[in-house]
Structures are given as structure tokens and as C-alpha cells.
Structure 1
Amino acid sequence: MFDWIATITFDQIALSLVTVALLRDGMVLALPDRIAGPGGWLIDTGEE
């Protein structure tokens, strides 16, 4: 049933983490502060 999980490699996991980090940084840069910034509802970066 879970045989597919054995096919996941460390490289795939590492690439996924890097991709998520890059997407988050891109969203913080591109979206307005009320959405992704200090006090944002999607990504709260904390106080400046």
C-alpha cells in the first residue's frame, strides 16, 4: 500500500524544501504587506 514512499529520495526532499523556501521569499517580495509582511494574513514576517 505504501510502496511508493520507498521511492522518494533525499534529493527530492531537499529540492522540495528549497523550492518552498524560494516561493515563500518570492511571495514576501511580490505581495503587499497586508498579505505577506509584518502582520500579513498569509505570511506574517513579524515586526520590522
Structure 2
Amino acid sequence: MLWTLLLILLLMWALGLGVGVGGNLIHILLVVALVVLVVNLLQGRRALG
């Protein structure tokens, strides 16, 4: 679920860079995608340990 959200956010960010629409929203989406990635990685490490 988190990987799907991360992928969607990164695609939206990449499309926003190409089109040039959204301004600060693009950067917010990128930050949210990175937070989702970090949370997912931390949860994975906790499950392994």
C-alpha cells in the first residue's frame, strides 16, 4: 500500500516538473513521498528485527 502511494506521488511530481504546473505543490508531494519511503523502510527493518 505504501509503495503504491509512493509511486503515485513520485509520478505526479515528475509530471508536474514536465508540465511546470503546481509550483510548491510539487515539492510538497515530493516531501510526502520521501516521508512515506522512510516510514516504509523503518517498518520493514523493525519487522525483520
User: TM-score normalized by structure 2?
Assistant: 0.45
More strand by share: 1
Greater RCO (CA < 8 Å, at least 6 residues apart): 2
User: TM-score normalized by structure 1?
Assistant: 0.45
More helix by share: 2
